[in-house]
Each structure stands twice: as structure tokens, then as C-alpha cells.
Amino acid sequence: MKAGREKLIVIGNGMAGMSTVEQILKLSGSYDITVFGNEPHPNYNRIMLSYVLEGTKTIEDIILNDMSWYEEHGIKLYTGTTVARIDSTTRQVITEDGASVPYDKVIIATGSSPLMLPIPGCDKKGVVGFRNIEDCNRMIEAARDYRHAAVIGGGLLGLEAAKGLASLGMEVTVVHLMEDLMERQLDHQAAAMLKTELEHQGIRFAMGKKTTELLGGNRVEGLRFSDDTVLACDFVVMAAGIKPNTSVAKASGIAVKRGIIVDDYMRTSMHHVYAVGECNEHRGVCYGLVAPLFEQGNVLAKHICGVPTLPYEGSVVSTKLKISGVDVFSAGDFMEGPSHTVIAAQNDWKHTYKKILLQDGKITGAVLFGDVTEAAPLQKLVKDHAVMTDEIYNDIMGGGCCGNGSAQKTLSIETMADEEIVCGCNGVTKQMIVEAVTEQGLTTVDEIKACTGATRSCGGCKPVVEQILQYVLGDGFQSDSKQGICGCTKLSRDQIVAEIRGKGLKTIREVMNVLEWSQPEGCSKCRPALNYYLGMVYPAEHEDERASRFVNERLHANIQKDGTYTVVPRMYGGVTTPEVLKRIADVSLKYDVKVVKVTGGQRLDLIGVKKEDLPSVWEELDMPSGYAYAKSLRTVKTCVGSQFCRFGTQDSMTMGALLERKFERLDFPAKFKLAVNGCPRNCAESCTKDIGIVGNDGGWEIFIGGNGGIKPRIADSFCKVRNDHELVDICGAVIQLYRETGNYLERTSEWVERMGLESIRAAVLEDDGQRQQLLERVEFALQQVEEPWHKVLTQDDTRRLLYEGVKG
């Protein structure tokens, strides 16, 4: 602590408090700051918890300010510490464990808690809220042991929880009191379209149901409704609303109604004490969305730093929701009344809907479903109560999702207020982006992301960030295609690979030095990418830089949330022997493996291996790794094929095992999965694999670019081949083309759409010389990565060894 500086204490380590602190740091260096957080984590993005729940992001991915950030800015952080009260007489903050810290100013930013309905049985095991990382972890744990979940509440939070649980494999029913989902944000039409789309994704609904009791003994077993019907379930998420956390204020004698009462500068009834975010109540309103808390934080930061600012006069509430490809947006008034003029368009083919409400010719509300590209300009128009004009009408309704197909116009960024929030997830305003561009010379979205945080979370604000860049830079603006692979460089993937080849660059450090990386050590995004590109360009010369790989790849296992690891050995074609099964069982018992799970890729997953036991486990298994952790060939799923199935026309198990043995050693831009079916019944689900193969009487049909993950995509039919040799060659050529032209972490589903199916066909199918060159390069790469446990086998060898049960 520096002498003479005022002491600022922030109670709450969430988004509202830390956003305010970030603004204070930019405005003034006159405070010694202490932060109390009751969770054992640094500041993270609660908006992204649903992504953690469904498995597309980790806890590390949603951290906004890591521990080093607090140290760098001289902030004293107490994690896992709850504040009991504020003593205004002694000017001290008192914690629950009795410690006291003196203050000059205090910001209460304690947020809100899930509203747990006070109904009989609400205290049973298996009943949780959904508000923080601990709740998220409980839900993930429950999905491992229980099957049937009920989510009480069909609002934004409830739907995100439902989708996350469904992604974890649970059967989920959303129970909602009203007849429409998200009735506070969507009109009847948009709510109906949302419900239909989520039903297609496997979520069930019990609408118009009031829960009166949670059934069961020690653990919840079902819900009883007011009509006396019952829904069986073994896990319940309460998502029926939130309530401001006001206990500190109440214990301190600060005025509280529903929330902590504040004025237009976030001042509470106690001198030198402020409240910001979901815990406060401003002009009778408690806000439960993220944009208002950032607007409040900006006003508060300027006020306590002595910077002139307009008062906070409330927020025009808007909502933007994305669940596995479902986009919805609303702002202002969305339910029309007798005095409204309604402008609406619905496109059932594209599953899109758009509505704008006018009152006295002014725009007062809007709803979008399916395409929310106009969300940012509409939000401003609603906030400003802009008068509808022909120009605005054409901009919003003339093109896009529901219009007549004419070129879509972009509303002028020039009219956007400096204080308007562009990135709601991280509280980044237009002015912050403009200053980053003009004062620091930034020219790309990735640089803006690294500097301000805009676009680093959900990415929904990226179009507006690009528009601001274009507005400020004019002709100097670089479009996405010209941006670098990360904030450390302005060079694209193709430019980097060309420079590596042209200048003979052989190491990551050499690449970064010669190509003038802005960060000398690079970052977690570019270092693994460079390591891959170097290995792809120089398969015989590049020495793999293991330190630049992700931790799972370095340890040959997937780390779990409890710090243990999962080990997945290969089982070619999903076939093994009793001897191998016994070996797996012996190792599992010896090293106290918690769970042995049959995976979707026809293998066994040993869950709960201690880090220090990993080398011994692999040694005693004496099996090749299944690379479940790697950017490489993960699995080749097969049906039983003509060897056993009465419908099978081709030997899918043997072909699957051959392809798996042949290509398992290669590094890819991203994880890679194959499937081989013995007949068109598609039991191995070829349609959702990177390469899917379907047998028929005349040979094989090859499909590429499928994905069954968070962005599902049905594979495209690529070609038909007559024999096994041609099949292996085509697969090898497609694999090498993907390896050479794919962006790092780009799945084939994205690669096919970027490259175009016809261009891939032209390279692999129409030019025999180019295909032969691709095959030569993939074979050369394979020769460089052979490991002791691998042996390249002919198809006859594979067939013999597979059915004799001998490990190759």
C-alpha cells in the first residue's frame, strides 16, 4: 500500500465490481484497492457458465482477470472470504471470521443469488440453483450418475441450464409457469419458435405448470404440480429467478428494499459507500442483465475518480440468447398494444422472425429470432426512441433474414454514443474501442480483443467492433481475412506458412523473431498453431516443441476437474480380446481407477488416474494411445459389417482398423474422427464424422465434413469408389489436403465450408497428379512419426491380427 492514497474496498469479485475497478484503474491511480470474493476463484464471466456446463469451454476459458492481473495492479484479493458488515463509525469492513480492514470508500458488488422456491421438499438432495461455478460443477457431477432432470423456469437462465444438461446426456424437462418461454423478453411468436427449435434438440417442456411440491425421501424423485400431476425426475435445477444479495447492507444499517437503494451515482444511504450491479435497486428497478451493471459501473468509476459524468438514469433492457445455434434478441417493448404500429416479417423456410414496434412513429421495441445481425443497431434505435424513416426501414427490413434479399445496409456507427456498450459480456464501450485504435494503433478485431476484451466471450459484438474499426480507420481497416491468427501478429495462417517455407524458418522462436511478433513469447493461441504448422511443413526436420502443446497432449491424457486424468488406449475397430480386457482390469484395480467407461468411439476410458501414475499405467497397459486428448485421429467407429451382420455388404471392421492403424500417428489441425459402415443403414453414424464411409454392393461411398458437436453438420457426399485400395488413397489425399490447408483448431466441418466442396474435389478427384503428390506427402509424414508400439500393416495383416486377437 502506498502512503497517502485512499483505501477502496470492493465487496464482491464478480463482473460488476471488477468492471468498475477496471474503469477506476484507467481513470485514476489514487486508490489502494482491496477486493473480497466469497468464491475461491478470480473474476470470471458468469454469462459463459452455460458453455462450461455443455462442455464447449473450461473454467480457465471464462476467467476475465487471472491472479496475475490483481498482482500487476497492486490489488489485494481475498478469495473464499465473506464480508459480514461495514462499520461506518470506525470506517472498517468486518469479515465473517472477525478480520477488519479500514476503508475510505466501499463498493458493494455482491450480485444476486438464484431464487429457491419456498415449496415443500426444496431442501432435498439433488436440488440446485444455477449461478456460479460450484453450481455448474454440481450439475456436471449429477449428469454422471442421474438420468432425468427438471429445470424449473423457462427464462434465459433456465433454458441455458436445460441445454447444458441435455448436452451432458440427461433427459431434461423445462417446467414453466407461463404458456410462453422467456415471456419477459419474447412475444408469443418468437417464444413458440424457440420452443419448437429446442424440442428438436431433445428438450421437453411442461408449460403452464405450477410446482407445489418436490417428492422423494432424502433425495428428490419428482415434482408435483398444482393440477396434481407428477413429473418423475432425480435432479432439479431452480431457475425461476434471482434475488439481490443484500445481507451486508442490511447488517450495516444501509437502506434496502428489494435491492440496496442507490441514487443516480450509485451512492447508498451510508456515506462513502456505493452499490453497483445486481445487488442494487435504482429508481425502483433491480436489473438482472449484464449491460446495466456495466453502465452503472462506468458512472460510478467516474464519480469516485472525480471525472465529470452524466448521472445514471436507468437502462433500456435488451436480451440476447444463443443456445446451440438458436439466436434470439429483444429490446424495449416487445408486446404490442392498441397504440403500437407493428412491423413484422416471418420466414418459415429460414426459421427467422423479426418485429419492430412503433409508438407515435418512434421505435420503442424489437424482437429478432434466428438472425440477430441487426441487434446492435436496433438496440440503439430503441434506446434513443428514434423516429422510423424509410432509410431505417430499408436498413433493418430491406435485407437480411426476413427481407426481400437485397443487399443489407449497415447503420452508421457515427451516431453511436461514446458511452454506449458494444460488448455486453465484458462492458466495453465504443469510446474504449476508439481509444484503443487511435492511441495504441490497433487495426484488427483480434488486437481489440486482446486490449479491451471485446468479442472475447460470446463473440456476438464482433460485427459492431468491425464497423467501429472501419469507421475509425477508413481505408486502413483490415477485414477478417487479413487479420492475424492471434493478437501477437497481423499475419494470417497462409502468410505464416508461406514465410516458414520461403525463409526456411524451423523453430517457433525463429518464426516469432523473424516475423516480428508483438509478444516475444507468443501466446496460448499462436504457440500450438506454430508448432503444428512447422511440423506439417517440415515433417522430417521439425523437433516437436512439447512445451507449446496443450497440457493434455503433453501428458497423453485428459485432465479432469478434480485434477486426475483419463487414459484411453486404442481398440482398433472397437475389437479387443479377453487377455487385453483382463490387462485393463488389472491396471484399473492396481491404480485405483474410479470409473471404466465405454466411450462413443468403441473404446474404454479409464477415469481418475493420478498424474504421477500416468507413466506406469501406460507402461503396464502396453497398448497404443487412443489420442483422446490430441489434435489427431481420435476414433474410427465401425459397425460389425459383412463379417457378422446379415445386411452388411462390406467388411467395415477390417477397413476401420486398417484406416485407424494407418493414420493414427499424424497431427491434424483439430481432432479428427472417422466412421466405417458396412451398409447404408449407417449404424456407425458416418454422417457426423470428418470422414464417413458407407459400404454398398458396388464398393464404398465417402462423405466428408460432418460434425456431431456443438455446431452439428451433416457430412457432404464426396465420391464413390470401387475398391479398398482406392478408398484408402482418397482418404489419405483428403487428410493431407486438410492438414496442409486447414487453420489450426478448424474442424473439417468449417474447413469444407471455407474451402468449398468443389475445390476439394478438384484437388483430390480431378487432378491425378495433385492427388499423387498429396499421397506422397502424407506417406512421408507417416514415416517420420512412427512410434515403438506402431506397425504399419497391410489389409491382410490387419484382418488376420484383428480376428486372431494379436496386438500389432
Residue 679 annotated as binding? yes
Q: Which helix (H) or strand (E) holds 236?
A: strand 235-238
Helices (H), 49-155: 49-54, 67-72, 133-145
Is residue 551 within 8 A of residue 541, CB to CB? The reply is no
Structural contact between residues 150 and 236, judged by C-beta atoms closer than 8 angstroms = yes
Amino acid of residue 86: I
Residue 582: phi and psi, rounded to 5, are: -65, -40
Q: Spell out the SS3 assignment of 205-227.
A: EEECCCEEEEEECCEEEEEEECC
Exposure letters 654-683 (e unless 16+ CB within 10 A, then b): bbbbbbbbbbbbbbbbbbbbbbbbbbeeeb
Contact call for residues 683 and 666 (beta carbons, < 8 A):
no
Phi-psi group of 370: left, alpha or beta (phi > 0 → left; psi -120 to 50 → alpha; rest → beta): left
C-alpha cell at 423: 460488448
Span between the terminal Cα atoms of the chain, in Å: 65
Q: Are 276 and 17 in contact (CB under 8 A)?
A: yes
461 is known to lie in a ligand binding site: no
Q: Helix or strand or coil: residue 166?
A: helix
Q: Does the CA dihedral 501-769-775-753 come out positive or negative?
A: positive
Cell 469492513, residue located: 93
> Half-sphere exposure of 647 toward its Cβ, with a 13 Å CA cutoff?
11
Closest residue by Cα to residue 457 from 432, 424, 413, 411: 424
Tell me which amino acid residue 756 is: G
3-state DSSP assignment of residue 491: coil
Asked whether residue 645 is marked as a ligand-binding residue, the answer is yes
Q: Identify the residue whose cell numbers are 481513470.
A: 27
Ranges assigned E (strand) in 74-189 = 76-78, 83-87, 92-95, 100-102, 105-108, 112-114, 127-128, 148-152, 171-176
As a residue count, the chain comes to 808
Tally of CB atoms within 10 A around 319: 20
Instruction: Pick out the residues of the known binding site for [4Fe-4S] cluster.
Output: 639, 645, 679, 683
Instruction: Pick out the residues of the known binding site.
Output: 639, 645, 679, 683
Instruction: Pick out the residues of the known binding site for siroheme.
Output: 683
